[in-house]
Amino acid sequence: MRVAGAVVVIAVLDGGSGADLARRFAAAGASGLLIADLRPGVAEDLATELDRPGCPVVGVCGDVHRPSDIAALVDTATGHLGPVDLFAVAGPHGERIVQLAELPHHLDPLAELLAEVGEAIGEVVPTQRQPSDSPSAARTAAR
């Protein structure tokens, strides 16, 4: 994966941290970072810490579980930093990086990105437990 010169969006899921990932991208020569965190102020503080000439960093509050927020993140990154090259998702159990250059060019890039981010979220968040067949679960489901 080529990081040097890349514009990177880092989406932090609930319980995750994008700080180490952002530091690694900055050290590897990223040309710009947009960090989005669910918690207000967290991404903005990290952006202030990491922002430097040659690698501007923008921090915003956002939720990648909402397609409208993903679209806003991509628009914000593009407007401030240029076209997005990598989209990373950092969760409580790991991280996943999507290389946008690998997306099929005949598909709508944002729609494809939404599918890739959904897959990335699924990889870093543990599978939800299925409801049991207990009578209380059946009553809850019937409500």
Distance (Å, whole) CA 34 – CA 110: 17
- DSSP readout, 4-30? TT-EEEEEEPTT---HHHHHHHHHTT-
Q: How many domains does the chain have?
A: 1
For tokens 């437990």, the residue is: 129
Which CATH number does the domain housing residue 86 bear? Answer: 3.40.50
More confident residue, 142 or 60: 60
What pLDDT, on a 0 to 100 scale, did the predictor assign at position 7? 94
- Looking at the DSSP bridge assignments, the partners of residue 86 are 8, 99
Report pTM: 0.76
In a domain, 2, yes or no: no
Q: What is the mean pLDDT of residues 22-32?
A: 95
Do the Cβ atoms of 80 and 34 come closer than 8 Å?
yes
In a domain, 76, yes or no: yes
Read off the pLDDT of residues 94-135 as tens digits, 9 standing for 90 and up. Answer: 888 877 776 655 455 666 666 777 776 766 665 544 444 444
